[in-house]
Structure 1
Amino acid sequence: MKKAKKGFLTPERKKKLRKLLMLKAAEDLKQQQMLKEQERQRYLQERILPLPENLDDMDTDELREVAQEFFEHIVELESGKYDLSYEVRQKDFEINELTIAVNDLRGKFVKPTLKKVSNTDNKFNKLTKKAAPTVDFRSNLKQVDTNKFAMEEEKAAEKVDWSK
């Protein structure tokens, strides 16, 4: 009898193919990381001002000029950073407004995430509230004569019968 013909992708071939794909993916990832690092280094070389080599030999006026140049560069970079952060905030606001408009047009609204509430906890809380006896604290208070320190004229005025 003839042997049954096996499929093209046998388990061994699948394993080998998977291994080759993983190696290729790892190689591509390393290459992308290297390109990103090279781009980063190139960008930093453009942006960073080089330090003068003979700082020790410079007099105070030349040092002040170098410091002023660095200060101006820092101010320029900070203003650029502020401008970019402002643009990012504006774009985020625009994106938010547009997504709200799209949702309104579709008729689909973002449903807020609700907290799960246990029904048994609510029933237990209701039972404990009903079971707790109400305590009247006023009935246990000591009676105090409020007119104890009143002046004599006030006592006389109190004794006058106003029902007439």
Structure 2
Amino acid sequence: MPDDGPKVAKPKSKISASRRLSLKILLLTRATEQLEAEKAAREEEKVRHLGESVPPLQLTGLQLEELQTFCKEIHSKIDKVDEERYDFEAKVIKNNKDIHELNRKIADMGGKFKKPALRKVRVSADEMLKALFGSKSKGNMDLRANLKSVKKEDTKQEKELTVEVGDWRKNVEAMSGMEGRKKMFDA
């Protein structure tokens, strides 16, 4: 294989392979420690939030009426939480649609989307009018009716013209001058 040009040498890194490997290991251990710390913080936040919003139940020693009012309060809280959950789901769905639409616009702007080639389709004038105007088109459009009709000249006249040509001298004398030219154009 012939050389396409001068080869560009990769610059050697100033860090040795063993040092690079040890740095990677340190970075990975640090990242895993941070992930574990984040998980622990989330769990603590979850426990704290549940402790604030849902106090522990104390049902011992309550009368029937007190239990009924307590159940009604719990049902109203459940309804409120369900409404909030539904609102959040609607927001998430809307945001996902917006993200999808923006990604599509970015792809269109980048020119990565190719428009498909259009197929050639034969369509009559009537079908085209129906497609353009729907059922509102008035009657059918006969394009051939608008063309002029052309009558063919009789073949007898052509034969007579060929018979007249017989003697060329007579023809030349008859056609000489302006009158002869006028006869040519009139015929």
Corresponding position of 2:66: 62
CA positional deviation for 1:99: 1.9
> How has the CA–CA distance of structure 1 residues 87 and 28 changed in structure 2, closer, same or farther, with 3 Å as cutoff?
closer
- Of 82, 94, 111 in structure 2, the residue corresponding to residue 78 of structure 1 is 82
> How has the CA–CA distance of structure 1 residues 22 and 97 changed in structure 2, closer, same or farther, with 3 Å as cutoff?
closer
Corresponding position of 1:27: 33
Asked if 1:39 corresponds to 2:52, the answer is: no
Q: Where does structure 2 lack aligned partners over 5 or more consecutive residues? A: 1-13, 115-187
> How has the CA–CA distance of structure 1 residues 85 and 14 changed in structure 2, closer, same or farther, with 3 Å as cutoff?
closer
CA positional deviation for 1:18: 4.9
TM-score (norm 1): 0.51
CA positional deviation for 1:73: 0.3
Q: Tell me how far apart the structure 2 counterparts of residues 75 and 9 of structure 1 sit (CA, whole Å).
A: 61
CA positional deviation for 1:15: 5.9
Q: Tell me how far apart the structure 2 counterparts of residues 10 and 100 of structure 1 sit (CA, whole Å).
A: 44
- State percent identity of aligned pairs: 29
Question: For each residue in 1:75-108, what CA deviation from the matched residue of structure 2 results, as whole angstroms up to 9, or x when unmatched?
Answer: 0000111111111111111222222222222222
Q: Which amino acid aligns with 1:77?
A: V
Q: Tell me how far apart the structure 1 counterparts of residues 25 and 104 of structure 2 sit (CA, whole Å).
A: 45
CA positional deviation for 1:41: 1.6
CA positional deviation for 1:57: 1.2
Q: Tell me how far apart the structure 2 counterparts of residues 94 and 12 of structure 1 sit (CA, whole Å).
A: 47
SS at match of 1:35: helix
> How has the CA–CA distance of structure 1 residues 74 and 25 changed in structure 2, closer, same or farther, with 3 Å as cutoff?
same
> How has the CA–CA distance of structure 1 residues 15 and 86 changed in structure 2, closer, same or farther, with 3 Å as cutoff?
closer
Asked if 1:50 corresponds to 2:77, the answer is: no
Corresponding position of 1:141: none
Q: Tell me how far apart the structure 1 counterparts of residues 20 and 110 of structure 2 sit (CA, whole Å).
A: 45
TM-score (norm 2): 0.45
Q: Which amino acid aligns with 1:60?
A: L
